[in-house]
Structure 1
Amino acid sequence: MNKANGAQGFNLNQLISDRYPELTKSEKIIANFIRKNQEEAAFLSAGEISERLNLSEATIVRFARKLDFESYPAMRAALQDNFRRRVTHSSRLRGRLQDMVSEGDVLERLTATEIDYLSQAVLSIDRNEMKKAVDLLRQHQRIFVFGLGPSIPLVGLMELRLRRFGKDIVPLICSGRELIESLITLQSTDLVFVICFFDQNPALQLLLDYSRQAGCKTIILTDTLGSILGDCVDVVLAAQRGPVGEFHSLVVPMTVINALLLTYASEEQDQIMPLLDKLDALREKLNRFTSQRNG
């Protein structure tokens, strides 16, 4: 294993400085971009960097090899690993708290920030991808919804709404053996909806790999992983939640999910409205039984 691939938290700036004299003019452009934008570059594909810098993807690959990486994905993986070690949960929260407190009223500042992020999300979401996602929701009866950690409430939101819309929902909110127990029933006629941000974990990799084997359609709602996992899924809903290194709320992804569900509901009103009427009737009956018992 070479120096770059084997380092535990390598110093990118030092690595680039050591090799800088050996780089071509184009490779130096890449070096300067990555050095100044390490957080963003860690989640960009070679194609995205080449498009931004007006260079060929082959040049990006050669640059990575000049730094002793086997490939550009290997360099990007090292950048991501280095970034995760540097940007911990506590550091992200600490940074957000410092910004909030230093600029006055926390509620006012947080609200303004979330509005800004929502505005960015409006621009970043591909409407064609949204339409594809709605079409897949309409076409599939059983939907597996995956999300871990902070994404679990979003899984719960989708489970509640889609179940009321008449869908069969399988929530996937655990990793390890619990995930495997649920996956064994996955079939090609099912839809997989993945909610994940920032981190690729073994459970996610297993789910995507097994979904491909089963022949399932897959949707992913993410912020930074679209370019990395885009080839593994059918639809990417890329919702930007602000700078990668900051503490993030669920406002942006929750808004995207609500927009998705409302669009679906508007196109399936004839099916959904009778189900909601039945739900209201059952609630009314339950209330009567409860009143009689308490009376």
Structure 2
Amino acid sequence: MSGNMRDTDREGETAGEDAPLALSDLISRHSSRLTDADTRLLDVLIQDPIRAALENGKDVSSRAGVHPASAVRLARRLGFKGYPEFRSFLQSSLTEGGNDFESPAARMAARLVKAEGDGLLASVLDSEIAALQQARNSVSDADIRAFSETLCGSRRIFVFGRGHFASLCSLIALRLGRSGYDAVDLGSQIHLLPELLTGLTQDDVVWMLAFRKAPPLLEEVRDVAARAGARTLAITDVGGTRIDPAPDHQILVSRGEPGESQSLVVPMTIANAIILDLASIDNGKSINALNQFRSFRASSRLTGG
């Protein structure tokens, strides 16, 4: 018995020093040692790895219908000193974006895991601050100016993004419109894309937002822009950089590390900086349009409720 425990301890140390990238690696590495109870536990873990990363060994054993100590035994057979260490491995896989946990639900669970120590609000704020600081270090005023100069001389500006970025595109188009620019939010009018893009010319700009990966429809819009000779702008992260042909100007920025908030704060901040910089170079166009809009809204009954 003592010899087995020493072997287990050595395996636990190896797992800590050279941890597998996925739960499937652990199973393959130790498959010859697994029992029927282990198999039932692993079925539960694989079916819902997110829940597994948040539960203790007793809860996992209960869901698998095995003895409460079975989860501890499984953890040791997989090379860990106990279930808490195994659970930490699952949580690390979750927060580092391993293949076992690549889904929106997994990313949310990862944020919950990170929030356990310092509290949810503090965790979200720390994540946002870190992402904004990274943006400060990776995006220059020259990057912002390249965008604003492209927008300044345009005939029309088409803003396009899918998913969460549809709401940001709507805000960008709204702000540009109030600043006196002919801006179209394509994301809110997907059913009218052929009509909206039929007259696209080289005097127009298509401003795209894509994070994690560029959706197929964005690639289609990019193709239309390329054929029309329209100038293109894109704000993306590493996953969204694969836009072909490449945009005329692109800002590459992270929304946070895996397991962090991944919110819209960073791209929204960059968009706000671009629109503000645009106002500084368009010879009063934005300022005058905003004053006219304010006067019109004050004198009309179109208050929007």
Alpha-carbon spacing, 1:83–1:193, altered in 2? closer, same or farther (3 Å): farther
193, 199, 202: which one aligns with 1:188: 202
Task: Tell me the secondary structure at the aligned position of residue 148 of structure 1.
Answer: coil
233, 238, 250: which one aligns with 1:219: 233
Alpha-carbon spacing, 1:148–1:227, altered in 2? closer, same or farther (3 Å): closer
**Unmatched runs of 5 consecutive residues or more in structure 1:** 1-10, 15-81, 291-295
Task: Tell me the secondary structure at the aligned position of residue 228 of structure 1.
Answer: coil
Q: Normalised by the size of structure 2, how large is the TM-score?
A: 0.62
Q: Which residue of 2 aligns with 1:97?
A: 112
| Aligned residue runs from structure 1 range 173-252, under 5 A | 173=187, 177-225=191-239, 227-229=241-243, 232-244=246-258, 246-252=260-266
What is the Cα deviation at residue 179 of structure 1?
2.8
* Conserved 8 A contact 2:144-2:273: no
Q: Take 1:188 and 1:222, find their aligned partners in 2: how far apart are those partners? A: 23
Do structure 1's residue 88 and structure 2's residue 103 form an aligned pair?
A: yes
Q: Take 2:294 and 2:232, find their aligned partners in 1: how far apart are those partners? A: 32
Give the counterpart letter for 1:200 in structure 2.
A
129, 132, 137: which one aligns with 1:118: 132
Q: Which residue of 2 aligns with 1:266?
A: 280
Q: Take 1:210 and 1:156, find their aligned partners in 2: how far apart are those partners? A: 21
Give the counterpart letter for 2:168 in structure 1.
L
113, 129, 139: which one aligns with 2:153: 139
Q: Normalised by the size of structure 1, how large is the TM-score?
A: 0.64
What is the Cα deviation at residue 239 of structure 1?
1.6
* Conserved 8 A contact 2:124-2:260: no
Higher gyration radius (CA):
2
Q: Take 1:105 and 1:245, find their aligned partners in 2: how far apart are those partners? A: 15
Q: Which residue of 2 aligns with 1:54?
A: none
Q: Take 1:275 and 1:176, find their aligned partners in 2: how far apart are those partners? A: 28
Aligned alpha-carbon RMSD (Å): 2.7
Q: Could you list the runs of 4 or more consecutive aligned residues of structure 1 that deviate by over 4 angstroms after TM superposition?
A: 82-86, 174-177, 244-247
* Conserved 8 A contact 1:175-1:203: no
Q: Take 1:124 and 1:217, find their aligned partners in 2: how far apart are those partners? A: 23
Give the counterpart letter for 2:123 in structure 1.
R
**Unmatched runs of 5 consecutive residues or more in structure 2:** 1-21, 26-96
150, 160, 167: which one aligns with 2:164: 150
Task: Tell me the secondary structure at the aligned position of residue 131 of structure 2.
Answer: helix
Q: Which residue of 2 aligns with 1:171?
A: 185
What is the Cα deviation at residue 128 of structure 1?
2.8
Count of equivalent residues: 210
